Every structure is written in C-alpha cells, then in structure tokens.
Structure 1
C-alpha cells in the first residue's frame, strides 16, 4: 500500500534536524562573549564582569535590562565558562514547589563537587517568600544565582536578596549592533540563513534593526519572517515584503513598570522646563505605547496647577477643556487636544508659588495642631454665641477704607501672621506680587500702629 503524497515516513521524521525547527533567534544565540552584540560597557575587555566570567569565578547577580538585550544569553555563558550545570526557571510559570525541587537537585550536585548556575527569568514576579527561598543556597554557594528582570530591582526585589547579589545594568541594543547581528545571521550557513540565496539591501536591514527597538531577538524574528516570505519571491527581501512584516509594530512600553514612570516623569519635566518640543514628543511616545489618555489628561491637569498655577490661570481651564474634548472625541482626534495642551503648558509662564504655599500651610497644620478659630472670625447665629464673644471685633472689609481691614488677622492667635504665598515675577503673578507686596506692607504697618505683635515667616 502506497503512502499518501506529502507524508513523511515515521523513521524519516526521527532524522529531521531538530535545530532547523528552532527559531532563528535561538539558533543564533551567541556561544562566546565575543559573539555578543551590544553591552560594550558591561562586557568591555578589561571590565570586572568579563574578567570574572572568563576566569570562571562567577558570582550571584541580578541582570536588569529591557527585553532582548542578552540577559538569558549571558547567564548561559556564565555557566559555560564556569563549567557549571545550567538550570533555568521562570517566575511566571514556576511556583515554590518547583523552586524547592530545583534547589534540592542543585544541593545534590554541589555535594558531588558540581556547581549550578540557576537562572530565574522575570525574578521580580516572585513574591517575598519565594525570593527568600534562594537566600540560604546563595549563602552556602549551592547555586550561583542569576536573576533577570526588566523592572527596577530596588522596587521589585527584597533587600535580603539584593544584598547577596550584584546588580548589573544591561542596556537596549543599538540599531547598528542589531544590524550587525542580522548580517551574521544572513551569512551563517550552519545556524543562520546562509546558503539560501537571500538578497536584502543594507537600508532594509537598517529598517528591520530600527523596528526591533533595541531587542536583538525581535530583530532576528522579523528577519526570519521576511526571509520566509522572500523565498517565494525569488529570494529578495523587497520593500513590499518589509511593509508586510513591519506593519503595526509596537514600541517597548510597560504600562505599569519603571519605563512608564520614567516617561511620565520626562513629560512632566519637559513641561516644567518650557520645552514644548520635548513635551509633545514624550506625550506621543506614551500614546503610541498604549498609555490611557485619561491618565495623561489627569497628569497634564496637575501640571497646569502645580507648575503653572497663577502665573497663567488659563492653563487649568485649558486642561479641563482638553480633557473634556478627549472624552467627546476619543482617539485619535482627541489626542490632538492633549498635544495642544502639552505644547501650551510647556510654552506659557511657570510658577509653583501656589503649590509651595499649600505645602507650607500643610506643614503648619501638622505642627500647630488643632488651633481655635479667633473669636472675631467665628460665626454668631445665636444670642448665646454673641454673649460668648463670637464675631466680636470683626471688621466688615467692604466698609473699611480701600475695602480691606488692614489690622485684622486671619490666623489663630498662637500662630501670628504667616506668609505662605510668594508670587514669582512671571506671567500674571507679576501683578499679583505687586499688589500683595503693597498690601502686606500696609498690614504690617497697621498692626504696628495698633500695637499688634505676631510672628511672620
């Protein structure tokens, strides 16, 4: 009986090269430190880490860096150079029972004189109890612990684990380095795409490298997809092929991680520095990454209050209107309202005088506690209250000369007069400062004439 066309005999399946089934990014994983791309600072020829790895004297460490920068590869190389057994677990997929099993196996190998490099991917996803499970094994040397994280270890890892590991910061790989990695994959006939007759222009490789956004693995994956499409088009990776491969690509953005807070910080500080070009860039970056526009509208409104304040009261109203416009239009039309707001906030006069005044008042509230309201400022709706002196001595400002009762205090007796709000000489606050300076001087003189004393800060 003949077998159906297109099927492969079962024994032939066993002879299929398993390496060919692995993704290009996995096949091209560097086998030596010299093959690694990027990380020139960390792995420079005379750097401390490189000398430690090459000598086999590896230490427990945390590798902190963005996706695709080489954390897993470096962990594999640590084990290779140290002639140690390599074990890898993922904090996303593994629980405490699996961790304990891996540690028990490492202890057995240690008793036989064999070291274990334990690589824990996404280590920040382990809770405190799970992180603590590694501590005695790191101390005894049972394992060389290598944790990989995309999040700031200071926030995500407990201090006990950090104290036993050295943190190495890894950087996103540059487009030039990624392009070099793509060329290596195209030339390598053993592990890469060499020998397939693929043709691709340098500019197309540069385009793939830029689209990889600092992630070597992503760049190689895009190249592999492009190569598969090109094999049906006479082996040339054309601009049309790239258009299909690179459509709808996304940039790196973590909606809840450090990268998110770094970018909102950059937006806020660009507004504060009166740099509208930088402000609209960071706004576009966050919108492009999928940040909730309502969050951005809220933060921009805060900037209007905190950093612009009374130097330009229109800014707060514009912020509310831009927020309302986004609610009415949604994306992408409403995005323009947020961009317009960011540009205006960055361009207009700045003042944090009201912000500072409020914080100073809050400090006095905490320091002086619950102070009684002075009698002359109290309301007196009943006869008893009037008999007790409520509202006695209050001067109705509209009946005073100039519309202000200058010798009347507004503070509790124990505090005396205070100065919280100090306008800056920018925007509308220039006029507010001129008025308040005259008014405060007149009040001080009036209190002096009336023999009123009090602290003023």
Structure 2
C-alpha cells in the first residue's frame, strides 16, 4: 500500500492547511475552542456549575447529552477532550455498525494501557440497538473510555437502563435568538476563522431574522449566514432583504414526526384544548402542520378530544370534528387546514366534560372484575315457548306503559353486580340539564327500590 509522504516544505504545509480551512463550512470554522466561546447553555455551563468545574479540572465523566440539533453537543464533547488532554474519537450511530464500534473500543483500550484516555463521542446514540449499546458498558466501567453520547430523543425511552446507569444525563437547550445573533456577529467580525475582512454588511434586523429562522440551531444560523454572504458578494457585500428572502425561502421548523418533539407538541395541543385556551390550541395546531405532521392524524386527535374532553357537555363538538375531518379530506391543504383550525378553536372554547369518558372506563373496569355476569331474566328476550317456561322476560315492565315513561323499580344490571352509577354529569354545558334529570330519576329509582323491599 502506498503511503502519502509529508511535504518537506513547512510553508507549503501551512498553505495547504489554509486552503483546507477555507474549504471548511463557516459553522465548522467557528466552532468554539473554549467554554467561554460556547453559545447558550448558561444553566449547564455557568461559572461554578458542577459540569463546568469538572470540565475545567479535566475530571470528566461519561455522560449523555440530550438536546435539539445545533445546540452544541458535538462542541461540548470536543471541549471535554481538550480540557482533559484526552484523545477524541467520534462515531455516528447512523453510519457505524458493531464491527466499527468494537474496533474503536479496542483502539481506546490500547491507548488506555499506554496511559492515555479517550473521549468517545457517539452521535445519534439512540439509533444504536440494545446489543450495540451494551458493547460500551465494560469499557465505561474500566474507564478505558469517557463515553459521551449525543441524542435528540428522550434517553429514558431510547437508551437501555444499563447504559443510563453508567452515565449522567445533561439536558441541553435550544439556543436563544439573542445568543445566536451574538454568534453571527462573532462570525462577521472574526478575520481568522469567520467572514471578517470580506466587507460583509447586514442590518441588525436582518441578522435577527436569520437567528430566528435557525430555530435554536447555531450551526444552521451560521450556514444561512454563509449562504447569504456568498450571494451578497455579487451585490457589493451587503446582505439585503431581497437576498435574505432567497436564503430563507425554504426554511422549516424543528419537528420529528416520530420523536420527542412530535409527542410534546400533540400533548401541548390536547392540553390547550382541555384548558379552554383557543389561542394556544390554534398555535400548536399551526406548529404541527408547519412541521409536516399528517393532517389526518391531527383530525383524528381533534375528534378524540371532542369525545374525551367535551363529551356530552356539547354533543355538537363531535359532529363538528367529524365534519372538519371530512372537509379536509375533500379540500386538502391549505384550504382544509382552516377547517381543522376552526374545530380546534371551537373545542377549546366550548364547555368541557369528561363524565362520559369516566363512565366508560368505570364500566369497563366492572366488566373485567365481574366477568360474564348473567343477564337478569326479566331483561332477556323470550322468542320461544321453552324460554318463556324458563322465566325469560318474566316481570319485564315496558317503560312506555309506565307512569312518566320509566319503570322506576326495574333494574338494568346483573344481580351479581347490583345497581351502579358510572355517569356523573358535570354542571357545564348541556350536562347541567342532564344532571338535573338524572339526579331526580336516580332518587326516584332508589325510593322505588326501598318501597319494594
């Protein structure tokens, strides 16, 4: 195998390194080299915080960094290795299989035997299966690696308990717009690694618009700035509003259709409806549609809310939800989106009751507990002579022939269970009237049973 020979000319090496640096993306060139250059994460890396003291002293521990894209997980892992004077190795769970993992671990074990530590950064660690995650355990225990796993998903769901028990989970937050603006200004001013010296000009309002479009992702913000600067180079170096419009034309917000953000946002939508906050409800609906959520899924969930949280306090809500679902199926986006927004606003605004939902759950619980309790004879049909002889339908009172249209002293439950009250209407919406009627009816039935007894 032919090996590349190192150039004997140091000046040529420097020129080559300079050309390589120039070819690297701006976001990579501007990657922080010290903790003080880190953008955001004030809570986690505040002066005197436990993690900061550990990093600065070089006494780093195995950890899982949980946070959204572009919040600094890779950068923090690199800084851990730098402050600890340790070798840094990175693998991606998307690109690496178990053989590569074992090879990296074997190399780390060899370095450990030689008295050198290795910070092993595993990006997208939640994509490794259980067997792959288990491969790290003995090496973490021996100390041959300082394991740093990065994930955008909730570790409680995606990582096995054995790995979590050996690591500390640090939650990293999306970077604020103000902090991203600071990172962009630093890139514009930095003549060594950034865009300083190129004469790039941009108004503060446009810089803030870039930061907002990045949606908490510093790497994305720097990439947008770099694209805008390249386009502005042909316009005298000034990033105009028209230039920025081209750059941000296809921007999208963070949204993972099967991950933590998806479930967080649908939870926020449902709870906003339940809390009678139509403004918040329509906001979360817009967020999910904007992120690419299947509108049919949202229509189904809104229908579920109409049944679970509005119920009989406003029976119109269920029909409106079904109608909105049908309207979306007929119109599609964007026209059908308005139907979903309309029903979300109505569900949040109208009276709420989970009485029917609770009644259903209570009845199911009795079914599970009492099993196949016999149907009382008086409630059974008697279409044959034999069944009549056995007492089927005997004693049944036809309610329409009774005073008031209700046979008050007739039970509807199996004898083994006895009378139950599952449905307890709330004093909201239509259920106010239902409650008044049922309270009177139940009291009359109780009195009739006592008189019969």
TM-score w.r.t. length of structure 1: 0.95
Q: 1:201 Cα deviation (Å)?
A: 1.0
Mapped to 1, the partners of 2:195 and 2:451 lie a distance apart of 93
What is the CA deviation profile of residues 407-437 of structure 1, one whole-angstrom value per residue up to 9, with x for unaligned ones? Answer: 1001110111000000000000000000000
Q: CA deviation at 1:370?
A: 1.5
> Displacement, 1:388?
1.2
Task: Give the corresponding residue for 2:63.
Answer: 61
CA displacement at 1:13 relative to structure 2: 9.4
Partner residue of 2:431? 429
1:166 aligns with 2:171: no
Change (3 A) 1:16 1:76: closer
1:319 maps to 2:321:
yes
Write the distance in 1 (CA, Å) between the matches of 2:205 and 2:311. 48
In the TM superposition, 1:222-261 aligns within 5 A as 222-261=224-263
TM-superposition CA deviations, 1:44-95 (whole Å, max 9, x none): 0010000000000000000000000000000000000001110000000000
**Whole-Å separation in 1 of the counterparts to 2:17 and 2:223:** 25
* Cα separation, 1, equivalents of 2:366 and 2:382: 27
Alignment-derived partner of residue 302 in structure 2: 300
Which one of 369, 372, 378 corresponds to residue 370 of structure 1? 372
Residue in 2 aligned with 1:444?
A: 446
Q: CA deviation at 1:363?
A: 1.0
Q: Deviations over 1:106-125 (max 9, x none)?
A: 00000000000000000000
Aligned to 2:286: 284
1:43-192 residue pairs with structure 2 within 5 A? 43-192=45-194
CA RMSD of aligned residues (A): 1.3
Question: CA–CA distance in 2 between the matches of 1:351 and 1:53?
Answer: 52
In structure 1, distance between residues paired with 2:45 and 2:391: 79
Aligned residues: 442
Distance of 2:382 and 2:87 partners within structure 1 = 83
Query: 2:408 aligns to what?
Result: 406
User: How far 1:365 sits from its partner (Å)?
Assistant: 1.0
Can you give the 5+ residue segments of structure 2 that lack an aligned partner in the other structure? Answer: 1-11
Task: Give the secondary-structure state (helix, strand or coil) at the position aligned to 1:75.
Answer: helix
Structure 1, unaligned stretches of length 5 or more?
1-9, 452-457
By how many angstroms is 1:285 displaced? 0.5
Deviations 1:107-163 (A, max 9, x none): 000000000000000000000111011011101101000000000000000000000
The SS at the match of 1:120 is strand
Offset from partner CA, 1:157-182 (integer Å, 9 cap, x none): 00000000000000000000000000
SS at match of 2:121: strand
Please give the secondary structure, in 2, of the residue aligned with 1:303. Answer: helix
> What SS is found at the alignment partner of 1:379?
coil
CA separation in 1, counterparts of 2:14 and 2:142? 49
Q: Tell me the distance in 2 between the aligned counterparts of 1:160 and 1:53.
A: 24
Displacement of 1:287 after TM fit?
A: 0.4
- Deviation, 1:242, is 0.5
Q: CA deviation at 1:203?
A: 1.0
- CA shift, 1:12, in A, is 12
The secondary structure found in structure 2 opposite 1:117 is: strand
| TM-superposition CA deviations, 1:333-386 (whole Å, max 9, x none) | 000000000000001000000000001111111111211111111111111111
Q: Aligned to 2:443, what secondary structure does the other structure show?
A: helix
Counting only pairs closer than 5 Å after superposition, residues 253-272 of structure 1 correspond to structure 2 as 253-272=255-274
Structure 1 residue 14: deviation in Å?
5.3
SS in 1 for 2:39: coil
How big is the shift at 1:190? 0.6
Distance in 1, matches of 2:16 and 2:203, equals: 38
Q: Secondary structure at the match of 2:119?
A: strand
Q: CA offsets per residue over residues 200-250 of structure 1, 9 Å max, x none? A: 111111111111100000000000000001111011111111111111210
Segments of 4+ in structure 1 off by > 6 A? 10-13
Report SS of the residue matched to 2:249: coil
User: Which among 348, 351, 355 is matched to residue 349 of structure 1?
Assistant: 351
CA distance in 2, matches of 1:93, 1:248: 27
Please give the per-residue CA displacement for 1:299-351, whole angstroms capped at 9, x wherever unaligned.
00000000000000000000010000000000000000000000000010000
